[in-house]
Each structure stands twice: as structure tokens, then as C-alpha cells.
Amino acid sequence: MSAANPSSAVRRASAVNPAWRYGRPALVLLLAGLAVGVPLWLVAVTSAKPQAEAITPNLDLPRHWQPGGNYEEAVSQGEMLHGFLNSLLVVVPSVALVLILGAGAAWVFARRKSKLVSAAYAICISGLLLPPAVITIVMELRQLGLAGTRPGMIAVYTGMYLSTSIFFMTGFIRAIPVELEEAARMDGASPLRIFRQIILPLLRPVIATATIMVMLYAWSDIFYAFFVLGGGEKATLPLNLYKVASAQLYLNNWHLVFAYVVVMSLPMVAIFLVAQRKIVSGITSGAVK
């Protein structure tokens, strides 16, 4: 009786389902087309149109294709390559520092137990909730001689995103059995060695997550870059995009704006596609516990 019950319940459930079985994929397709397809289509076609066609952005295919010309113009006028390089020079060191410093701190926070440790941990993850005081950051950087420099920008991003990596990594390390470390310690391994050879490799999934999150934030940030770097020599890609788009009022250059948007987004999409599985598992294991 009890064995028959669940199977009949399952059968009943799947009997309710047919409408849902075909309706659901149709709904998914419709939503994906409308919500994601339309905006991305707009970006793709507009970035391939000549200026005259792009003035009023619409979903029509370009009558005259000139993607090459647009991207070339964006590169030369919008200083795209320069911005790309500037972005890399700021984002890569920031991510590296966030990961290395964050992992070290997370290890100590996860393993040691004292009031001092939990206080330090609480302070270090307070950045998850508290907003960075961007105006006085500028003041402090000026006094340190770091205003408008890449090291200044790197320091600001690192300080800002350390909380995220420490939070995710501490949770993750707590789930790693201490016995692994103890075994290595018995063999005479130093803390540095244990950290490098046991903890860091095990952290790989959460490192993938933290990497993509911090990279995403730093790569697309314009707010803090505006205050710290300003518009000049060191301007990152988003700052350049902002400049190109602000000229919009006089130039109506949607074709350039969207060429820029494509170039700016592709690296992130590529990274996501490569590391997708790790990112997803990392996000999910870190957030829901």
C-alpha cells in the first residue's frame, strides 16, 4: 500500500503536467527572447550600422553594414585600446591582491578561535554592507600621493572587495577538515607550506567565484574610477565609454556606444563561458549555507 502510494502520486503529478511540460519551454523561450534577446539584438545591429541609421535606435537590420568601420572608429576616437590596457593594469592586480590577501586572512579567521579573531573577522567583512566613503578616499589618496594613480585605484578596489573574498573563503575553509592540515603538520610542513599546498588548491572553486565577482565589479566600475582616476591618461574602459556616450548629446553616436559596449562585455562573457561550472558551484556553495 505504502509502496503503491508514492508512485501513483508521482503519476498523478506527471498527469497534471502536460500543459506545463510544453508550456514551460515555450514560456522560457518567449521570456529569453523578449528580456535578453531584444536588448542584445539592439546592441548587435546598432553597432554595425552607419551613424545615419543609428540615430534613432531600432531593431531593424542595418541597410548598410559597417561593423569594421564602427569598431575602428571606436578604437581610434574612443581610445579603446588605451582604455583596455588601463583596465587590465588596474583590474588584474586588484583581483590578485584580493584573492591572495583574502585567502590568508580567511585561513586565520576560519581556524583560530578567540574574541580578537571574531572581532577582526566582523570588521573585515563589514565592507559587505557598508558603503565605501568615496569622497574621503580621494582626500586620503591625495595626502598619500596616490590620487590619480594606478596603485591608488588598485588599493581602493582591493580594500573594497576584500570583504567579499574573505566572507566567501572563510565559510569555505571552515568546511575543510582540519585533519588534512594536521596530517601535513605531522610530516613537518610549515604553515606557509600547508597554506600553499593544501589550503590554496582546495580553495579553487571559491577562488573562481571570487575572481569573477571582483573582476566583474572592477571591470565595469565607473563610479570609483571617476573619483580616483578621473578622465585623463589612466582612464579605464568604462570611463572612456562614459566619455563617448556623453558626447552623445552633440554627436548622436549610438553606433560607437554599442561598439564599445560589445568590446567591453566580451571579455567578461568569455571568462564566464570558460569557468562557468566552477563559478556556479562557487556562488552557490558560498551563499547558501
Partner 1 sequence: MADTAIRTRTQKPAPAKGRGGKVGRLPRAAVHHPWWFALPAIVVFAAFFLVPNLLNFYYPFTNWSSYHPDIAFTGLDNFTTIAHDGSLLRAIRTTLLYALLAAVFQNGFGLGLALLLEADSRFNRFFRAVFFLPVLISALATGYIFQSLFNQDGAVNGLLGTDIPWLGSTSWTLVLVTVIHGWKWMGLSMLIYLAGLKGIPGEMLEAAKCDGAGPWRTFWSVRWPMLAPALTFNVTTALIGSMNTFDIVQATTGGGPAGSTEVFNIYMFRIFGQGLYAQASAMSLVLFLVVVAVAIPLVIGLRRREQLL
Q: How far is the CB of 279 from partner 1 (least distance, A)?
A: 9
How far is residue 99's CA from residue 207's CA, in Å, rounded to a whole number?
A: 7
Task: Compute the least distance from the CB of residue 72 to partner 1, in Å.
Answer: 20
For the stretch 126-133, contacts whose Cβ atoms lie closer than 8 Å and that sit 24 or more positions apart, written own/partner, are 126/163, 127/159, 127/160, 127/161, 127/162, 127/163, 127/164, 128/163, 128/164, 128/167, 132/156, 132/159, 132/160, 132/224
Give whichever of 186 and 232 is closer to partner 1, judged by the CB atom. Answer: 186
Q: Specify whether the CB–CB gap between 229 and 235 falls below 8 A.
A: yes
Q: Are 222 and 137 in contact (CB under 8 A)?
A: no
Which C-beta is closer to partner 1: that of 82 or that of 217?
217
Minimal distance in Å, beta carbon 289 to partner 1? 7
Residue 76 beta carbon to partner 1: minimum distance, rounded to whole angstroms = 20
The residue among 134, 156, 133, 135 whose CA lies nearest residue 146 is 156
The nearer residue to partner 1, 105 or 229, going by C-beta atoms, is: 105
Q: How far is the CB of 219 from partner 1 (least distance, A)?
A: 7
Q: How far apart are CA 230 and CA 251, in angstroms?
A: 23
